[in-house]
Amino acid sequence: MPVPAAGGAGRVASKADILISLRGVTKTFGQGPTAFQALKGVDMDVRKGDFIAVMGPSGSGKSTTMNILGCLDVPTAGQFLFRGFAIETLDRDQRALLRRRYLGFVFQGFNLLARTTALENVELPLLYRGEDRATRHRMGMAALDKVGLADWWDHTPAELSGGQQQRVAIARAIVTQPDVLLADEPTGNLDSERSVEIMELLTDLNRQSGITVLMVTHEPDMAAFAHTVVHFKDGLVDRVEANHRPGVVPALN
Amino acid sequence: MQMFLTTLVLALREIRRHILRSFLTILGIVIGVSAVVTMVTLGNGATAAVKEQISSLGTNILQVRPGQGFGRGGGGATPPNFDLDDVAAIRGQVAGVRAVAAQAQSSGTAIRNAANWSTTINGTTADYFDVQPWPLTSGRVFTRAEEQAGKAVCIIGSTVYDNLFRGEEAVGERFRIRDLSCQVIGVLSKRGQSGFGGDQDDVVIMPLKAVQRRFTGNREIRLMLVGTDPAYDTAAIQSSLQSLLRERRRINGGKEDDFNIFDTKQISDTLTGTTTILTRIVTAVAGISLLVGGIGIMNIMLVSVTERTREIGIRLAIGAVAREVLLQFLVEAVALACLGGILGLILGFVASISIAPLMKAPFIFDPQINLIAFGFSALIGVVFGYFPARRAASLNPIDALRHE
C-alpha cells in the first residue's frame, strides 16, 4: 500500500538513510489564555535502522513527540517528513492507513484485547489489512514464534504473565513488518529481569529484522540498549547522546 | 466488501466473546419479536376459529325468531310463535328462498338400558337437512311421510350416540326419551362446539309433529331456518321476509317488529371484525415492546462503547480507519438485533404452536408477519446502533488509549 499523499505534499530531497525528520515542530494544546505549548520547536532526525531511546522528565514533551511520530497526533506547526512525505498534511484516515502500513506500537500497559487469544491479538492488524484467514494465521504464528511464544498462541492475556503479554504486544506490533516500532515505556510495568528480556527482544528485532525502534523510557538501564538517546527538556530536544556500546548495561557491570 | 467481511468477523467474535451480555442485550428484541409473531399468529388463529364456528351454524341461512334480540320479548306481551302456515308462506312467497325448516325445541332424558343422558330434543322438518347440510355417519334422514305422520323416529347427534350407544350399532335400535319409545334411523357426524359455546352434537332430531304432539303440546314453532339461494342478495331476501312477516303478524306503520331475522354471515363478519381489531391492538402493544427492545440495544451499545474505549484506541492505533470502527459497531448492533430477531421468531413459533391448542384455535403460520418482524428487528439494529457506532468512531486514539 503506497503512502497516501495529500494534495501539495510531494517528495522532498533528503538523505537516503533519514527515515523520519522533524523540523521546528510545535504543539499547542487548548486556546487563548489557557493554551499550553507542549513542543516549542523540535528538530529531530531518525535514521533507518536506528534504535532511539527518548528520555526526559514528565511534561518535557517526549510523549507528545512520540504521538506525533506515531501519526496519532498532528503538529500545530512545523514539518514532519516520513520517508520524504509531509505527514502534517494528511487527514485522519490517511494517517490511520500510514500506521497500518508502516508503524507498530507497543504500550506500557500492553493493551491487548481481553478474552482474546494471543494469536487473535497478533492477527488483529492483519485483519485490517484484509489478509485472508490462512495468511493471518501463518504471519501471526511467525510473529509469535519470533517473540518465543508460539506455544502460547491459544492463551488469553489473563493466562499470560506481564512479560509474556508484552511479548504478545510486540508480536502484534511487528506482524505487519513495519518500518518503525514505537514503544511507550515498554518495560514500565515489568520487573527488571523481564525488562531486560524485552529489551533484548527489541534489540534482536532491530538488528535482525532492521526495524527502526523508537522507545520512551524513564530508566537509564533500558535506555542503555539504544544506539541513540534523545533527551527532552521543556518542549525541546535538550541533547542527543550516541551510545557506542549499546546493550551493555552500566548498572550490571 | 472486504471491509464489510472483516467487520462482520470482528463483530461476531465480539458477540461470542460476551455471550451473556449479548444475550441480555437482545432479550428485549427477542421478547418483542416473539410477542408480535405470537399475537398475530394467535389472532389469525382466533379469527379463523370464529369463522369456522360461525360457518358451522350454516352459511346462507337466516334464522327467524319471535321477539327482539336474543330470546327476549319486546317488554309487554310475549310475541306469538310461528306456525306451519308461516313456513309455507315464506316458502311460497319470498324469492330466493331455497328451503325453510321449522323448529320446535324441548328437552328430556334419553334412556337406553343402564345409560341415560339429558339432551335437547329438536323437532323439525326434512327441510332442515336441505337448509344446512349435516352429513350422517350412518342411517338416513326422515321421509316426508314420517314427517307428516309425526312418527317416533329420531336422528341422534354424536354426543348422544357416544353416551347411549358407546360405539355399538345404533340404527334400528330403540331408546326411550320422556316416556316415548323412539327408533334411531340415523346418526349425525360430529360438528363440535358452536360459536357460543354450546355442544351442537348434544341433540336428538325428530319430526316436528312428533315433538309438538308428544312434548310441547302445541303447534307452535320457535325458530325458522330459512336457507337462501347464494345467487340472490341476502339483504333483499331479508327485507321481503320482513315485510311478509309484518303483514302476517299485522304490524302496521311505525310499530317495531315482534320478531327478528338473524343473518349468520352478518354475525360472522361482526365477530371476525372484532377479533381482527383485537389482534391489531395487541400487536401494536407487542410492537411497542419491540421498540423498547431496540432502545435496550442502543443503551447497551453506548455502555459498551464507553467500556471498550481502550479497545477502540488500540484498533485505531494499529491502523483501523474511523469508517471501520463505525462499521464494526454498527454491524455488531445489527448482528445482535438480527440474532434477537431469529431467536424471537423461534420463540414466537414455539409459543404460538403451544398456546393455540389451549385457545382451541388453529395454528396458522403467517410468513408475512415473520418477515416483517425480522426486518423490523434488523432495522432497529441499524437505527439504534448508528449513534453508539458513530461515537466509537469519532474517538481520538490518544485519549482512547489513555482511558482507564
- pLDDT tens across B339-351, in order? 999 999 999 999 9
Higher pLDDT, A213 or B78: A213
Q: Tell which of A124, A133, A165 to mutate to test the B interface (max B CBs under 10 Å).
A: A124
Confidence category of residue B402, pLDDT binned at 50, 70, 90: confident
Using the Cβ of A163 and the Cβ atoms of chain B, whether some distance falls under 8 Å is answered with: no
* Residues of B with Cβ-Cβ distance to A92 under 8 angstroms: 321-322
Rounded to whole angstroms, the Cα distance separating A210 from A232 reads 26
In this complex, the residue of A113, A120, A125 whose CB is nearest that of residue B319 is A125
Within 8 A by CB and 6+ apart from A58, the residues are: none
- Whether residue A2 is contained in a domain is answered as no
- Whether residue A95 is contained in a domain is answered as yes
DSSP string covering B218-236, please? S--BSEEEEEE-TTS-HHH
Q: pLDDT value at position A248?
A: 60
Q: Of B93-107, B143-157, B182-196, which gets the smallest average pLDDT?
A: B182-196
Choose among A51, A13, A17, A39: nearest CA to A228: A51
Q: pLDDT value at position B126?
A: 86
Grid coordinates of B162: 357416544
Residue B205 backbone phi and psi in degrees, to 5: -100, 130
Please give, rounded to a whole number of angstroms, the shortest distance from the CA of B302 to a CA of chain A. Answer: 19
Q: What is the mean pLDDT of residues B268-283?
A: 85
- Whether residue A13 is contained in a domain is answered as no
Residue A168: which CATH number? 3.40.50.300
- Whether residue A214 is contained in a domain is answered as yes
Domain that holds residue A43: 18-244
Say if the Cβ atoms of B318 and A113 lie within 8 Å: no
Closest chain A residue to B15, measured at CA: A115
- Whether residue A253 is contained in a domain is answered as no
Q: pLDDT value at position B194?
A: 63
Interface of B with A (CB under 8 A): 2-3, 6, 9-10, 13, 17-18, 310-311, 313-324, 397-398, 401
DSSP string covering A109-147, please? T--PPTTS-HHHHHHHHHHHTT--HHHHHHHHHHHHHHT
Could you give the number of structural domains in chain A? 1
Within 8 A by CB and 6+ apart from B91, the residues are: B97, B99, B100
Q: pLDDT value at position A1?
A: 39
- Exposure letters B289-322 (e unless 16+ CB within 10 A, then b): bbbebbebbbebbeebbeebbbbbbbbbbbbbbb
Segments of chain A scoring below 50 in pLDDT: 1-14, 251-253
Asked if this assembly's ipTM is beyond 0.90, the reply is no
- Whether residue A193 is contained in a domain is answered as yes
- Whether residue A71 is contained in a domain is answered as yes
User: What are the pLDDT digits (tens) for B330-384?
Assistant: 898 899 899 999 999 999 999 999 998 888 888 989 899 999 999 988 998 898 8
> pTM of the full predicted structure?
0.69
DSSP state of B256: P
Choose among B65, B23, B118, B404: nearest CA to B257: B65
Q: Tell which of B7, B17, B310, B318 to mutate to test the A interface (max A CBs under 10 Å).
A: B318
pLDDT of residue B72 exceeding 80: no
- Whether residue A9 is contained in a domain is answered as no
